[in-house]
A and B are shown apart, each in its own frame.
Chain A
Amino acid sequence: MTDLFTLTDVDFATSERQILHQINLTVTAGDSLTITGPSGSGKSTLLRIMATLLTATGGEIDYNGRKLSAYDPFAYRKEVSYCFQQASLFGDTVYDNLSFPYIIRNQAFDEAHALDALSQVELGPDNLHKPITELSGGEKQRVALVRNVLFTPKVLLLDEVTTGLDADTKAIVHHFIDHLNQHHDVTLIAVTHDETEINAANHLITLTNGQLEVPA
Chain B
Amino acid sequence: MTQNLIVTPSALFFAVALVAIALLLNFKEKIGLEKDMIIGVVRAVIQLTIVGYVLTYIIKVNSVFLTLLMVLIIIFNAAWNAQKRAAGMNNAFWISLLAVTVSTGTTLILLVLARAIKFTPSQVVPVSGMIASNAMVAIGLCYRNMNTSFHDLRQPILERLALGANLKQASSGIVRDAIKTGMAPTIDSAKTVGLVSLPGMMSGLIFAGVDPTKAIMYQIMVTFMLMAATSIASVIACYLAYPNFYNADDQLI
> Which residues of A are in contact with B by a Cβ distance under 8 Å?
51-55, 69, 73-75, 77-79, 81-84, 87-88, 90, 100-101, 103-105, 144, 147-148
Q: Is the CB of B160 within 8 A of A100?
A: yes
A105 to B250, CA, bound (A): 18
Q: What's the minimum C-beta distance from A209 to chain B, rounded to whole angstroms? A: 25
Report which of B163, B165, B173, B251 forms a contact with A148, defined as CB distance below 8 A.
B163
B155 within 8 A of A: yes
Residues of B within 8 A of A74 (CB): 164-166, 250
Residues of B within 8 A of A101 (CB): 163-164
Which 8 pairs, one residue from A and one from B, show the smallest C-beta to C-beta distance? A78-B164, A82-B162, A77-B164, A90-B156, A73-B250, A104-B165, A88-B155, A74-B166
Report which of B155, B173, B249, B250 forms a contact with A84, defined as CB distance below 8 A.
B155
Report which of B155, B156, B158, B164 forms a contact with A104, defined as CB distance below 8 A.
B164
> Which residues of B are in contact with A by a Cβ distance under 8 Å?
155-156, 158-166, 169, 173, 249-252
Report which of B155, B163, B166, B250 forms a contact with A100, defined as CB distance below 8 A.
B163
Tally of contacts, chain A with chain B, CB under 8 A: 62
A105 to B158, CA, bound (A): 17
A45 to B173, CA, bound (A): 27
A105 to B163, CA, bound (A): 10
Q: What's the minimum C-beta distance from B1 to chain A, rounded to whole angstroms? A: 56
Instruction: Name the residue on A nearest B164 (C-beta).
Output: A78
A103 to B172, CA, bound (A): 12
Instruction: Name the residue on B nearest A54 (C-beta).
Output: B251
Residues of A within 8 A of B251 (CB): 52-55, 73
Q: Is the CB of A81 within 8 A of B173?
A: no
Instruction: Name the residue on B nearest A84 (C-beta).
Output: B159
A147 to B161, CA, bound (A): 13
Report which of A51, A84, A103, A148 forms a contact with B169, defined as CB distance below 8 A.
A103
Instruction: Name the residue on A nearest B170 (C-beta).
Output: A104
Instruction: Name the residue on A nearest B248 (C-beta).
Output: A55
Q: Is the CB of A73 within 8 A of B163?
A: no
Which of B173, B251, B252 has most A Cβ within 10 Å? B251
Residues of A within 8 A of B162 (CB): 51, 53, 77, 81-84, 148
Additional A-B contacts beyond A55-B249, A77-B162, A81-B163 (19; CB < 8 A): A51-B162, A52-B249, A52-B250, A53-B158, A53-B162, A74-B250, A75-B164, A77-B161, A78-B163, A78-B164, A79-B164, A81-B162, A83-B162, A90-B173, A101-B164, A104-B163, A104-B169, A105-B164, A148-B163
